[in-house]
Chains A and B, each alone.
Chain A
């Protein structure tokens, strides 16, 4: 209720100042708490990249909470305190601007976003997740490899072939092919990502990593899993009718279990791999009205281990 009589109000009373400081303290505490909560909104951390990404996200959540809380507090205060009285048709005090304030609220956000950007760039450099570099003239040789920088030069390169609509993983050195990706824990792995048809997205949420698989290129992509378990790999770039069903399991296990799996896999005969699209397409063709035309799914790849996509997974 600011009526026109208090035009020359004093800057701020000491009680007001104390209240303001207490409120800011509360906001800081809330922001801190939200930053801690942020970790819980994300899937389990299963790669070296995950803690880095999560740390950045938590930092951003904290700052974001503070900014949002600040703005909403001002709005709430105004709504409570500065409503016009029922029959008051008069204008408020015409404050048109304040250059010092303008400078302050330009510089503070500038510093804030730059702080976030610098933090993000450091994480970025550490991650070194990179896409295909072969067409970029400025690329320096180091940049040719993706993945966590410390993970360079892994022992084995797994070939990933994305299709409409299945994922095939092959381990050339041991001659194993599968539609369920197995990886040893704590060991860097390098992928060679290729697509047979359209753009797909290689995305394992528990690893926090994602890379588009672009037809006509082979993309090297490195990462290091750090937690044993079963995770989902999801296609993240819309790839047509069975896009949603284009998923696979990623099993991260101990090096011994991994070696045993590889050995066992190598001894299995080739059989059709997992492809929900092929199954659904078959059912669809039986229907009297099969619906709008669609690109027919590629035949399921011939693999040693098809895996299953109905097992419980950690993320």
Chain B
């Protein structure tokens, strides 16, 4: 990290306007990503409220069936491609350089381009609500032949825009992945060997490698779908000798690993936060690191578990059942490591810690229904029912979104320089935890009873559980209010944050809050021990005491 490769930083620009333009500072891009993602989260959430509003009564009475299909398709697509991936990339941008002591990403301009693609394909997707015929309606899977039916016959149509947006999202994610992987591999602080790297960086590295392996399959599959839709080819059209199941292989070869792209960084967040708020080192650090890569390896050979009922050979069913179940083992290693970490710790139930504990609770539940889904005979019964919708929302809302909230509360003081409010945070947690469980638990009995997913109406015997789920959903909708209040008011006039408000260990906490544009600049400290040295008394870097004194002095002076 010499000044030859990184010219001296210009005087810091702290005005609001830098968030609205092309900026190459990873921290600015990180916040751009996160704020954009939450903008789309609100839209996706609004659509979810309409879905649950429709499903609070059996008939299709709130919205027209075509509208319903468009809405649930856009809900899934927006939540995945415009909320969860961007918000995680935002965290990557904030955390990776600061955690490893790099001044920025390896390719700052590529980083900015990757971000700006998000609002562009976001506008494409949202814009598809306004084209004749409405948005794509075939679900975020977009299985052909439903997705290649084009009732109006227009060349510009919702489905075409959808495919273009997803392909662009793939391009953006590949740009991001190249950047994150390179940064982690090449720009670590002196002394930071792989086994001195924070677990968040391990999980980000694992997740981003998955993007590099899997995304080309999705993008290729999507291009072929677009050809079928718009140019009359028949890769997937049975009339022309194509095979619709082929698309499913392309799609799931990426989209199964995508769930690990989502959940691995959340494992990273849990691994960072449990030690801080238990005042203990992460239990079994090396095993937790390695488990991420075992999950990657296994995660690449399980995609057919999404296709058990679509007609695959018995040997494939058995093979993919075994491989799927094996993933429970490295995942279990992580869960036990977190339990080992909090065990006999000195717990502090701050907002981030509450979100971690709640997230772990939900994740374990999701893991158990996941095992059920892995076993072919049970999956045959519940696949494509609300059981699956319940399962993955436990993962994605119950664990991933909770982990993301934990991360936001935890690192907010570092990157914004102000403290979030604890009271509002705890209220947010309480509403989220109750809302998520009330929303998603009832989906399991519904699925077991045989209620298919994606239906705009249903038989009256399903009414009871659907009412509960909808009430939970509305509560979740409300839960976002204290969060937004907290973020906005803390950002505008929250108390100034010291450099290390949680008394945490990590390179990022040896920076001022917020960090200067090039982080440590030329003064990157040398790492001399493993992360998470809570209670060991071992310093993380050389001259740690002096650095901390200097920071505290500056804080006192300010």
Q: Which A residues form the contact surface with B (CB < 8 A)?
A: 2, 41-43, 49, 52-53, 56-57, 60-61, 64, 67-68, 71-72, 74-75, 78-79, 82-85, 88-98, 101-102, 105-106, 109-110, 113-114, 116-117, 119-121, 123-125, 127-133, 135-136, 138-139, 143, 197-199, 201, 203, 205-206, 208-212, 214-217, 219, 232, 234-245, 280, 291-296, 315
Contacts and interface: CB of A to CB of B under 8 A. Distances in A.
B380 A60 contact: no
7 contacts: A75-B360, A78-B342, A82-B345, A94-B536, A130-B314, A199-B143, A199-B146
Given A53-B380, A127-B377, A120 B321 contact: yes
B146 A232 contact: no
A109 B70 contact: no
Contacts of B151: 293-296
Interface stretch (B38-46, B177-185, B273-281, B408-416): B273-281
B223 interface: no
B245 A124 contact: no
A43 B449 contact: yes
A199 B142 CA distance: 12
B340 A199 contact: no
A206 B448 CA distance: 10
Nearest to A3: B346
Contacts of B503: 89
Given A124-B318, A139-B313, A205-B449, A244 B456 contact: yes
A221 to B, nearest CB: 10
B384 interface: yes
A295 B147 CA distance: 11
Contact of B450 (A116, A203, A239): A203
A243 B149 CA distance: 14
Given A109-B328, A117-B321, A234 B452 contact: yes
A106 B329 contact: yes
Given A96-B285, A98-B284, A198-B146, 8 more contacts: A2-B344, A92-B278, A105-B333, A203-B450, A209-B380, A214-B245, A243-B456, A292-B134
Contact of A78 (B146, B336, B343): B343
B344 A82 contact: yes
B145 A42 contact: no
Nearest to A9: B344
B113 interface: no
A291 B66 contact: yes
Contact of A210 (B139, B309, B344, B347): B309
- Residue from the set A95, A235, A291, A292 with the largest chain B CB neighbour count within 10 Å: A292
B374 to A, nearest CB: 8
Contacts of B67: 291-292
Interface of B: 60, 64-67, 69-70, 132-134, 137-139, 141, 143-146, 149, 151-152, 238-239, 243-245, 278-287, 309-315, 317-318, 321-322, 325-326, 328-329, 332-333, 335-336, 339-340, 342-349, 357, 360-361, 364-365, 368-369, 371-372, 374-378, 380-381, 383-385, 445, 448-450, 452-459, 503, 533-536
Contacts of B309: 131, 201, 210-212, 236-237
The 8 closest A-B pairs by CB, nearest first: A131-B311, A205-B450, A216-B238, A91-B535, A94-B535, A244-B455, A120-B375, A64-B368
Contacts of B381: 42, 53, 57, 205, 208-210
Given A60-B371, A94-B280, A105-B336, A75 B317 contact: no
Contacts of B328: 109, 113
Contacts of A199: 143, 145-146, 244, 310
B311 A114 contact: no
A136 B139 CA distance: 28
Contacts of B133: 292-293
A42 B448 contact: yes
Contacts of B383: 210, 236
Contacts of A242: 65
Contacts of B321: 117, 120-121, 124
A232 B451 CA distance: 11
Nearest to A83: B347
Contact of A94 (B239, B378, B450, B533): B533
A83 B349 contact: yes
Contacts of A214: 238, 244-245, 310-311
B450 A234 contact: yes
Contacts of A129: 377, 380
Given A92-B535, A234-B450, A236-B452, A124 B384 contact: no
Contacts of B314: 124-125, 128, 130, 143
A124 B377 contact: yes
Nearest to B383: A210
A143 B313 CA distance: 8
A60 B361 contact: no
B345 A92 contact: yes
Contacts of B346: 2, 82-85, 88, 90-92
Given A130-B314, A212-B310, A238 B138 contact: yes
Contact of A75 (B66, B339, B536): B339
A205 B457 CA distance: 17
A110 B364 contact: no
B1 to A, nearest CB: 30
Nearest to B346: A84
